[in-house]
């Protein structure tokens, strides 16, 4: 978790030239693209490019999101960038969520080798994944009051999205509604991500879910999917940009709440494993659910179930990520496939509970 992981096989200089040629076709022949780079701390699924675009006497700092090349061992079987573009636009325009301003969606793979979207770049601070924010840095060193302000503001984003009644046709790109469909999609993702390789701790977690299914999963809403502070740009502990909508789906509210809670636990457990105190009083279930209830009037339910599901979902992703690292020679294949799941201990603790 402290080393930069390889996420792309594409040449940056070539991408800059091809992006400039594409941009000139959009805005005119004087367009120039410069200062292209990739992120260093977060963003391990889609390929992300930062660049400065200048045309017509103006200059705009941009971010492009591309589906990764097949040889880069993609994290997901498909990347619906059109849906991501639309959800950012809807979240900004209809829910008042500070999603980045969506500039262009390019469906034609010819310009860069894959469809892509471009949005405005927003300045601020993001709690990093590598090295985790629980191990040090601006959020770790903040006052309890500022941490709580950031926590509450993050929950407010989820509440605002859930409370917005998007029209049903606009939900269509995000797949079938309901908890059952969501879990079945995760089973399919597990099968795709790992093929003939079985990861027993993940299969035990699927069995646990089947045995502890909620009596009433509750109403479906449009969920962010990757609802965590590492996907938010903050300025003075206030969200100014909400990123990474590729896991958006229709399902119970608890999907987002449990993901936000568990993802902090994941990074907190990592800090503790390194002999550091981390941030044990941050993003705790009772406080997150209480704030959500205050904002929406909805009482989150069956959170033990959803915490297990969040741990399972993240386990499938982490095992795929570790296999990518193995592919690029960054680490060997473990003798025990369960060790592909970095938070194996947390999953086993939840199963025992």
Integer Rg of the chain from CA: 20
**Tokens, residue 116:** 């892509």
CA 194 – CA 239 distance, rounded (Å):
36
Pairing of strands 32-37, 102-106: unpaired
- Contact between 231 and 256 (Cβ < 8 Å): no
Task: Please tell me which residue in 226, 244, 256, 302 is annotated as part of the active site.
Answer: 226
Q: Three-class SS of residue 33?
A: strand
35 DSSP 8-state letter = E
CA 67 – CA 113 distance, rounded (Å):
9
**Tokens, residue 127:** 């709690």
Bridge partners of residue 242, in order along the sequence:
232
- Our answer to whether residue 215 is catalytic in this structure is no
Q: Three-class SS of residue 247?
A: coil
Q: Three-class SS of residue 119?
A: strand
> Whose CA is closest to 19, among 153, 123, 155, 111?
111
- Contact between 81 and 116 (Cβ < 8 Å): yes
* Catalytic site positions: 226
């Amino acid at each position: 978790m402290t080393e930069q992981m390889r996420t792309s096989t594409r040449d940056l200089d070539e991408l800059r030239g091809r992006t400039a040629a594409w941009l000139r076709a959009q805005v005119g022949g004087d367009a120039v693209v410069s200062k292209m780079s990739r992120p260093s701390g977060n963003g391990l699924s889609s390929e992300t490019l930062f660049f400065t675009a200048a045309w017509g006497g103006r200059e705009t700092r941009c971010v492009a999101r591309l589906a990764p090349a097949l040889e880069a061992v993609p994290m997901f079987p498909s990347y619906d960038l059109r849906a991501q573009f639309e959800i950012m636009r809807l979240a900004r325009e209809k829910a008042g969520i500070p999603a980045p301003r969506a500039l262009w969606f390019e469906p034609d793979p010819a310009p860069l080798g894959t469809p892509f979207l471009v949005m405005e770049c927003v300045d601020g601070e993001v709690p990093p994944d590598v090295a985790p924010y629980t191990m040090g840095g601006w959020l770790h060193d903040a006052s309890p009051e500022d941490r709580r302000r950031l926590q509450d503001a993050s929950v407010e984003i989820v509440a605002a999205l859930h409370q917005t009644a998007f029209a049903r046709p606009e939900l269509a790109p995000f797949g079938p509604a309901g908890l059952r469909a969501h879990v079945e999609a995760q089973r399919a993702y597990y099968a795709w991500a790992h093929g003939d390789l079985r990861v027993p701790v993940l299969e035990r977690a699927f069995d646990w879910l089947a045995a502890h299914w909620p009596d009433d999963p509750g109403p479906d809403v449009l969920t962010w999917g990757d609802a965590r502070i590492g996907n938010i740009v903050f300025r003075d502990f206030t969200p100014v940009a909400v990123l990474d909508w590729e896991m958006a789906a229709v399902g119970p509210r608890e999907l987002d709440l449990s993901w936000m809670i568990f993802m902090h636990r994941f990074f907190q457990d990592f800090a503790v494993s390194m002999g550091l105190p981390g941030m044990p009083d941050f993003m705790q279930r009772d406080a997150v659910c209480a704030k959500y209830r205050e904002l929406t009037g909805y009482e989150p339910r069956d959170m033990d179930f959803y915490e297990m599901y969040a741990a399972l979902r993240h386990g499938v992703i982490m095992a795929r990520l570790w296999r990518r690292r193995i592919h690029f020679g960054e680490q060997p294949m473990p003798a025990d496939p369960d060790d592909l799941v970095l938070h194996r201990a947390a999953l086993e603790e939840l199963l025992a509970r």
